[in-house]
Amino acid sequence: MGGTAVITIAQTAGFCFGVQRAVDTAFAQAKKPEKTCTLGEIIHNPQIVESLQEQGIKTIETIEQAPPGSTVIIRSHGVPKKVYEQLAASGHKVIDATCPFVRKIHLTVEKYSKDHTILIAGDISHPEVEGIAGFCQGSYLVFPCADQLDSLINKQMLPEDCPYILVAQTTFSTVEWKKCVEKLKKVCTNLKIFDTICIATEKRQQEAMELAAKSDAMIVIGGKHSSNTAKLASLCGGLCDTFSIERPQEVYDLDLMGYTNIGVTAGASTPACIIKEVHKTMSEILKDQDELSFEEMLDQSFKTIYNREKVTAVVTGIAPNEISVDIGTKHAGYVPLSELTDDPNAKPEDIVKVGDELELLVIRVNDVEGTVMLSKKRLDAAAGFEKVMNAVDTQEVLEGVVVEVIKGGILVLTNGVKVFIPASQATLSRSDNLEDLLKKKVQFKILEVNRQRKRAVGSIKVILKEQRKELEEKFWADAQVGKVYTGVVKSLTSYGAFVNLGGVDGMVHISELSWNRIKHPSEVVNVGDTIEVYIKDIDADTKKISLGYKKSEDNPWEIMKKDYPAGAVVTVKIVSMTPFGAFAQIIPGVDGLIHISQISNERINKPSDVLAIGQEVQVKITEVDLEKKRVSLSMRALIEPEQKEENVAPVEEKDEVVYEAAPAQEGKTQEAPAEQTAEEEAPSSAQ
């Protein structure tokens, strides 16, 4: 930590309202003569717990451990409902120090859990979440992050039509909360959302992120078991080098050499006195370094190697978790695996070999033990930093991997440097989901840089626009009616499907998607499908393209012409009925008419006397009119030969039966229409 370093403490660091209330309650009780204990640690801070123990208030884990007649304080995190009931039955005096914000969550889930599934965003092993779950009277699910929520959704553990209530642990990450809400809104149609993240927590996280964005390093103070402290460290770690400590003495173990702007924040369970002590310790170290004696400075000058120095080293040995190197001094040099590469799954032997010469950066010199720790990763990052900084002038296209989705955009890792890309510059459309980019390789350009703060802002959108323009120009140069393309379905409407052909979009009208009648394009294609289409029409002035999808060889009438000639016997399915006959599906897209006179060799009043919708029957194709798209069918043609053999009746009698007068209606006598007349009046059977 150099003498010019500036230390900035976050304004909202330290106790929140609920923690302060619980601590004040416990210390006030410590002044009373009665025996008192806390059920679980009053807050997640070892110094406070130790101080209470010194004043006679011990921590117990179960009610049975409480001394007879003692007072039991319920911790700030709260407890399950059954614990309240056990305490009431035990006869102990109870002081409830549960945070009011946590208590409000208890009441909410208790009220709704009878007829809702409760969704809890939080750490299932944390006492606050255990308490919340303990007030659920029905089913509940707990997930610690958006990725785990994805797993629940993929396992179909969240039926979309069930009623849900969503709450969060008061110290839950605000960034993760927004991701979870967005995901649940897409899959749960009956969802009520209660934003139960403590306002103080949200404000503390926002301020910590803003401070980290302005700093070279962040120190986060808090208990190792504190959930909100861990969240702060995670958020800050995505923006700058971050160190977590629990006690002021740990500052001496930190390597803060070379940082000029250091931010300090603390979890909601960290006392103000601890924050002040950390600041005091850091200031003393800074002062000591500014006031080095001549003798100390002389000793420093005799060192053969210094922190942050660039050296050339030769690999002398390879171990599973580090490599040994010779740097040309009396020191034993080594490079931990974490300083060799960012890949946690990489093996040292796959990266270097004995005898390789490496450019390394000195991280820590220990003259007492004669060792020096070096880093290849940090030196590569420094070189990468220069490349990124220069790219704003050269407009070089960089490539990187999206490593994180944060508030307002994404972080892309390139050459060891994280580049921020705002949401407005990450995709072509604001409606695109940034989560889809996570862990994917992307190309981008640098828009602006800040060398002093080591920050860079980039744009993927610029590259996508350039690529799209090139593809569009290429498309219009080659496009012509009839040309076949392979495209991706981009969106669906009630009247058609829009297909991306690579740079331009065209539309397939719903009538061009299938030879069958369909109500919506989704019956044939879905968004994301890769399909083969052809250009039906081009309007060069408006840049509109009409596409075709159905193929002539799939035309059902072509299939009829080829495979179903007149005289063929086929099995058909009854699909509808009229007073003059029944329509039956021959193949998908083609129906034929079985006239009432062709259903049976006996007189029937209506088709339903013999047939039913969905029934399959054998028929003979008696006529196929391809021009009018009509097909005539006959069941009678298949049974008449048999009847003729069994009943050889005079022609006169048969004619008399066929033309027998129909039953009278309203005093009138009707004759059944001749078959030819009825067929002429029947509507087209084409579907």
Residue-wise pLDDT tens digits, 349-369 = 999 999 999 999 999 888 777
Q: What separation in angstroms does the CA of 278 have from each of 226, 236, 269, 380?
A: 18, 18, 15, 32
Q: What is the pLDDT of residue 640?
A: 55
Q: How far apart are CA 115 and CA 373, in angstroms?
A: 59
Q: What is the pLDDT of residue 468?
A: 83
Q: pLDDT per residue over 293-336, tens digit each?
A: 444 444 444 445 778 888 999 999 998 889 999 988 878 899 99
Mean pLDDT, the chain, rounded, equals 83
Q: What is the pLDDT of residue 410?
A: 94
Q: Is 77 annotated as a binding residue?
A: yes
In a domain, 362, yes or no: yes
Answer yes or no: is pLDDT of 664 > 60: no
Q: What is the pLDDT of residue 204?
A: 85
Answer yes or no: is pLDDT of 668 > 50: no
Concatenated DSSP letters for 487-499? EEEEEEETTEEEE
Single out the catalytic residue among 61, 110, 128, 349.
Answer: 128
Q: What is the pLDDT of residue 661?
A: 29
Q: What is the pLDDT of residue 325?
A: 93
Q: Is 145 annotated as a binding residue?
A: no
Q: Is 170 annotated as a binding residue?
A: yes
User: What's the mean pLDDT in 70-94?
Assistant: 91
Q: pLDDT per residue over 394-409, tens digit each?
A: 889 999 999 999 988 9
User: What's the mean pLDDT in 658-667?
Assistant: 33
In this structure, of 378-387, 417-426, 652-661, the range with the lowest mean pLDDT score is: 652-661
Q: Is 99 annotated as a binding residue?
A: yes
Identity of the amino acid at 547: L
Residues 536 and 613 in one domain: no
| Domain termination site, one of 134, 166, 196 | 196
Radius of gyration of the chain (CA): 40
Q: Is 44 annotated as a binding residue?
A: yes
Active site residue 128: yes
Q: Are the C-beta atoms of 253 and 259 separated by less than 8 Å?
A: no
Share of the chain above pLDDT 70, in %: 89
Domain boundaries, position 324:
301-375
Buried b (16+ CB within 10 A) or exposed e, 269-285: bbbeebbebbbebbeeb
Our count of domains for the chain comes to: 6
Answer yes or no: is pLDDT of 100 > 60: yes
Q: What is the CATH number of the domain that holds 461?
A: 2.40.50.140
Query: E strand or H helix at 664, and its extent?
Result: strand 661-665
Q: How far apart are CA 276 and CA 441, in angstroms?
A: 44
Work out the pLDDT band at 652, boundaries 50, 70, 90: very low
Q: pLDDT per residue over 556-568, tens digit each?
A: 887 888 889 999 9
Q: What is the pLDDT of residue 298?
A: 41
Residues 576 and 667 in one domain: yes
| Domain termination site, one of 550, 573, 588 | 550
Residues 586 and 672 in one domain: yes
Q: How far apart are CA 296 and CA 294, in angstroms?
A: 5
| Domain termination site, one of 161, 179, 196 | 196
Q: What is the CATH number of the domain that holds 241?
A: 3.40.1010.20
Work out the pLDDT band at 248, boundaries 50, 70, 90: confident
Q: What is the pLDDT of residue 4?
A: 58
Residues 162 and 270 in one domain: no
3-class state of residue 411 by DSSP: strand
The answer for residues whose C-beta is within 8 angstroms of residue 483's C-beta and 6 or more apart is 534, 535
Q: What is the pLDDT of residue 569?
A: 93
In a domain, 156, yes or no: yes
Work out the pLDDT band at 73, boundaries 50, 70, 90: very high
Q: Is 595 annotated as a binding residue?
A: no
Q: Tokens representing 668?
A: 């009138």
Q: Is 90 annotated as a binding residue?
A: no
Residues 172 and 214 in one domain: no
Residues 561 and 661 in one domain: yes
